[in-house]
């Protein structure tokens, strides 16, 4: 009798665990937000900024123009300064779609480059073609409905570049920090939440900032265990009935 009760309790716990986590899909945004102890790079809705997705090649490309680099580790914010400069974020990603035609994984590179002019950040000058920050994109989220339509965010690892070398931007793993990017497209062309056709989005804006430790993803084995035990419970119930 005791063993029977233990089995039923275990079965109930596994079913609850499975149901609770089954709604956590890849479509949810990752929740990237700024870290007030470190720099914040803001993107503006300027000409030439946008997102393009090619369904045939599963290529997802981002171009975003910086409007400011804000250092928040001082009493007064210090902004990117200079005249005639232009710094741009580039991302070229390859997306793998799952059986539900939603992105199941992503790989690619993010790079922040001084395209022209000289940029002064926190008293240091960076010239044309300088890579300010670069890294590998390893996690991707997006919004599909309501206010989240046109929203995308990414987690970046293996961070390097001039800002990291000079100690302005924290490298990956320091103080459990990594880099995250959040983008929002105001003008949607062909995007309705579907990943089975091409789309292009313009007037992109957003931010890039160091973030905390990423959440631990739910192991696939836990999902399989939960669904398996749920099926056993259903079969056992039908047998008794």
Domain-by-domain residue ranges, the chain? Answer: 1-24+218-241, 26-215
Q: Output phi, psi for 146, to 5 deg.
A: 60, -140
171: helix, strand or coil: coil
Q: How far apart (Å, rounded) are the C-alpha atoms in residues 134 and 89?
A: 9
Q: How far apart (Å, rounded) are the C-alpha atoms in residues 40 and 17?
A: 37
Q: Are 188 and 167 in contact (CB under 8 A)?
A: no
Lowest mean pLDDT among 12-21, 25-34, 212-221: 12-21
What's the angle, vertex CA 20, arms to CA 17 and CA 23, rounded to 5?
130
Confidence at residue 230, expressed as pLDDT on a 0 to 100 scale: 53
155: helix, strand or coil: strand
- Cα–Cα distances (Å) from 171 to 133, 160, 195, in that order, read 10, 7, 33
pLDDT over threshold 90, residue 67: no
Give 111-144 pLDDT, tens digit per residue: 999 998 888 887 788 999 999 999 999 999 998 6
Confidence at residue 94, expressed as pLDDT on a 0 to 100 scale: 97
Run of H or E residues at 182: strand 178-189
What is the chain's mean pLDDT, rounded?
A: 75
Per the DSSP assignment, residues forming a β-bridge with 157 are 136
């Amino acid at each position: 009798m005791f063993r029977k009760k233990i089995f039923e309790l275990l079965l109930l716990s596994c079913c609850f665990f499975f149901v609770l986590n089954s709604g956590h899909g890849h479509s949810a945004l990752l929740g990237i937000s700024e870290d007030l102890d470190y720099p914040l790079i803001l993107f503006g809705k300027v000409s030439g900024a946008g997102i393009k997705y090619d369904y045939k090649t599963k290529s997802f490309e981002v171009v975003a123009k910086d409007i400011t680099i804000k250092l928040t580790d001082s009493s007064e914010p210090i902004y990117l300064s200079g005249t005639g400069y232009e710094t741009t974020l580039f991302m070229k990603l390859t997306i793998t779609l799952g059986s539900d035609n939603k992105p199941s994984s992503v790989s690619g590179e993010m790079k922040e480059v001084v395209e022209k002019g000289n940029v002064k950040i926190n008293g240091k000058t960076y010239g044309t073609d300088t890579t300010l920050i670069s890294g590998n994109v390893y996690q991707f989220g997006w919004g599909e409905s309501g206010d989240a339509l046109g929203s995308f965010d990414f987690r970046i690892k293996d961070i390097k570049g001039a800002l990291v070398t000079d100690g302005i931007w924290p490298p990956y793993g320091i103080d459990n920090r990594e880099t995250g990017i959040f983008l929002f497209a105001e003008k949607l062309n062909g995007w309705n939440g579907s990943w089975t056709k091409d789309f292009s989005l313009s007037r992109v804006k957003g931010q890039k900032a160091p973030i905390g430790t990423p959440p631990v993803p739910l192991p696939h084995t836990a999902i399989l265990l939960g669904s398996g035990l749920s099926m056993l419970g259903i079969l056992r119930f039908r047998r008794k009935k």
